[in-house]
């Protein structure tokens, strides 16, 4: 039986919350704080040049918290922090077949930001759904590496 956090929402698309992204100004400083809050030192740090961010992934039960620091002023994270301040930036759902999910959500009329998936952190392929299509939440879809 599927565990909590896993759901089959439609035939052929298995989903779970992969991570929750939090936009931060200072990755190391925030990491020190979250290591204490989550009582976890098992962290992976990675640069994602395609998204102009440095990220730290902190495991949290069946999912993870992703801290994102902008690597340049052109990063979407830099713009978000400038306009809204630090805080929850996106929720990421892992899907089995990202191209199938993009096709399905586009056909439903949702605004998919990358019609072709792009490389994200840890070898994943990613896309986003615009927050105006999802009642104010930036939704990331990711397909894990095989
Ligand atoms: N969550 C909720 N709402 C958001 C948002 C977010 N993260 N970012 C922007 N918005 C809202 C703004 O508040 C604004 O709303 P109002 O018009 O009501 O004020 C609206 O979206 C602006 O939309 P826009 O003008 O179309 O676009 P922006 O230039 O503000 O960029 C977005 C927003 C989502 C299109 C852009 O950030 C983007 O392309 N994101 C995808 C890539 C990304 O986020 N990369 C960083 C993470 C990478 C990773 O996880 O590896």
Task: Indicate whether 75 pLDDT > 90.
Answer: yes
> How many angstroms is it from 1 CA to the middle of ligand 1?
36
Nearest residue to 21 via CA among 132, 121, 143: 121
Mutational test site, ligand 1, from 120, 128, 129, 134, max ligand atoms within 8 Å of CB: 128
In this prediction the pTM is 0.92
> How many angstroms is it from 31 CA to the middle of ligand 1?
23
pLDDT tens per residue across span 94-132:
999 999 999 999 999 999 999 999 999 889 999 999 999
> How many angstroms is it from 6 CA to the middle of ligand 1?
26
């Amino acid at each position: 039986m599927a565990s909590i956090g896993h759901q089959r929402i439609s035939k052929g698309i298995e989903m779970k919350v992969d991570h929750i992204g939090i936009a931060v100004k200072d990755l190391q400083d925030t990491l020190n704080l979250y290591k204490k809050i989550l009582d976890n030192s098992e962290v992976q740090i990675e640069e994602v040049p395609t998204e102009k961010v440095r990220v730290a992934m902190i495991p949290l039960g069946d999912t993870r918290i992703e801290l994102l620091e902008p690597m340049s002023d052109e990063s979407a994270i830099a713009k978000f922090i400038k306009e809204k301040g630090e805080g929850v930036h996106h929720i990421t759902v892992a899907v089995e077949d990202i191209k199938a999910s993009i096709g399905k959500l586009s056909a439903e009329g949702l605004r998919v930001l990358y019609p072709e998936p792009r490389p994200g952190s840890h070898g994943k392929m990613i896309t986003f759904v615009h927050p105006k299509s999802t009642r104010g939440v930036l939704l990331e879809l990711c397909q894990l590496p095989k």
